[in-house]
């Protein structure tokens, strides 16, 4: 994909599972939600794998080890090995290993996923700022992470020890609602020290580099549900992306997306990997058509006319909104048009 401004979802005459050699799949909101498989996910992934596509699961969650994640996916009916899972803990451990000596001590503020990743890179996890660490690394530690761990990080960072973070997602979904993520914990240390960490996770390049190094992908497709992590990460890595609407992104957010948040393809769920993608074509006077729908821009709102598959209408609306917005975010009201599509 080029870094030019995307003004419409792309078409594909081939099934995406045939056009790309590797799917780099986000987990929560794409494969599962609340620990349970999302509808159509298991059978869609099985079909893509049987067709020859490699499946890799890419997560910003640094708490769980690849073995644990693979075990969970396998229990859901998606056979997965630890080598198929790439975490932000692995990405940040590589980043640290490139800046400190082999065997260096690293103060860990987080869970087992970070410790395993550091040991894999020949680094030694420690628990105290008084253990003479060469670096501090912070990753999601779960709801039971003691408050005192943030103090340990702050003591070391204030002394000038290099500070790293697996990711800075401010929130994470849980079975009970939205909870604070690692980004919220990073803010605690930032407030205490005034320092800035080096960050590895999506949407930043270290995470994309880690996925390519571990999968050997030549033509990867990023599959995600979040514009500001999955899709922006694909944009930063200059690879194509598929947004699925089974997670956090809704219609208004998609229409308002600035260039770095605009996916190559849009589909309802992971079944979108198994087929091609329809053409979105110009329809004159600033309008665009996809399937049975034609979208245009009125004075202050997006307008939609036609009938057929709702997703075709959404794709046409994206083309009008993104064209109108250019390099910014669309400010035209799309409420009535989206309501007509049930979105």
Structural domains of the chain, with CATH? 16-60+203-273 (3.40.50.1000), 90-199 (3.40.50.1000), 280-340 (no CATH)
Beta-bridge mates of residue 108 = 137
Measured distance CA(147)–CA(145) in Å, rounded? 7
Residues 156 and 189: beta-carbon distance below 8 Å: no
Tell me the average pLDDT across 83-99. Answer: 98
Active-site choice (26, 169, 225, 267): 26
- In degrees rounded to 5, what are phi and psi of residue 242? -125, 120
Measured distance CA(287)–CA(302) in Å, rounded? 10
Residues 265 and 277: beta-carbon distance below 8 Å: yes
**269 tagged catalytic:** no
Measured distance CA(323)–CA(302) in Å, rounded? 12
**240 tagged catalytic:** no
Q: What is the pLDDT of residues 234-246, one digit of tens each?
A: 999 999 999 999 9
pLDDT of residue 285: 85
Q: What is the pLDDT of residues 245-279, one digit of tens each?
A: 999 999 999 999 999 999 999 999 999 999 999 99
Active-site choice (21, 28, 144, 312): 28
Record the pTM: 0.94
First to last CA, the chain: 28
Is pLDDT above 70 for 1? no
40, with CB counted inside 10 A (0-12, 13-18, 19+), is: middle
């Amino acid at each position: 994909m080029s870094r030019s401004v995307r003004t419409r979802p792309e078409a594909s005459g081939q099934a995406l599972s045939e056009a790309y050699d590797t799917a780099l799949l986000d987990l929560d909101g794409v494969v599962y939600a609340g620990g349970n498989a999302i509808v159509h996910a298991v059978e869609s992934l099985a079909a893509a794998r049987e067709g020859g596509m490699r499946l890799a699961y890419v997560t910003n969650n640094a708490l769980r080890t690849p073995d644990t994640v693979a075990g969970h996916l396998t229990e859901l009916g998606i056979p997965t090995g630890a080598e198929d899972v790439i975490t932000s803990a692995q990405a940040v451990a590589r980043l640290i290993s490139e800046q400190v000596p082999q065997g260096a001590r690293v103060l860990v503020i987080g869970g087992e996923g970070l410790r395993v990743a550091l040991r894999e890179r020949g680094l030694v996890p420690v628990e105290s700022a008084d253990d003479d660490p060469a670096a501090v690394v912070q990753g999601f530690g779960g709801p039971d992470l003691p408050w005192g761990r943030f103090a340990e990080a702050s003591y070391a960072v204030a002394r000038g020890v290099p500070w790293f973070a697996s990711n800075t997602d401010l929130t994470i979904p849980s079975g009970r609602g939205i909870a604070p993520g690692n980004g919220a914990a990073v803010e605690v240390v930032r407030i205490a020290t005034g320092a800035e960490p080096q960050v590895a996770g999506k949407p930043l390049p270290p995470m994309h580099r880690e996925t390519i190094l571990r999968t050997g992908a030549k033509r990867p497709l990023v599959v995600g549900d979040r514009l500001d992590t999955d899709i922006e990460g694909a944009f930063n890595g200059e690879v194509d992306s598929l947004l699925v609407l089974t997670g956090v992104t809704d219609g208004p957010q998609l229409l308002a997306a600035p260039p770095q948040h605009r996916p190559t393809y849009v589909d309802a769920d992971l079944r979108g990997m198994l087929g091609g993608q329809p053409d979105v074509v110009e329809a004159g006077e600033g309008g665009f058509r996809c399937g049975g729908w034609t979208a245009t821009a009125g004075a202050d709102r997006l307008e939609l006319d036609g009938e057929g598959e709702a997703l075709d209408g959404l794709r046409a609306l994206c083309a009008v909104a993104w064209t109108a917005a250019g390099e910014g975010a669309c400010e035209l009201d799309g409420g009535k048009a989206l309501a007509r599509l049930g979105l």
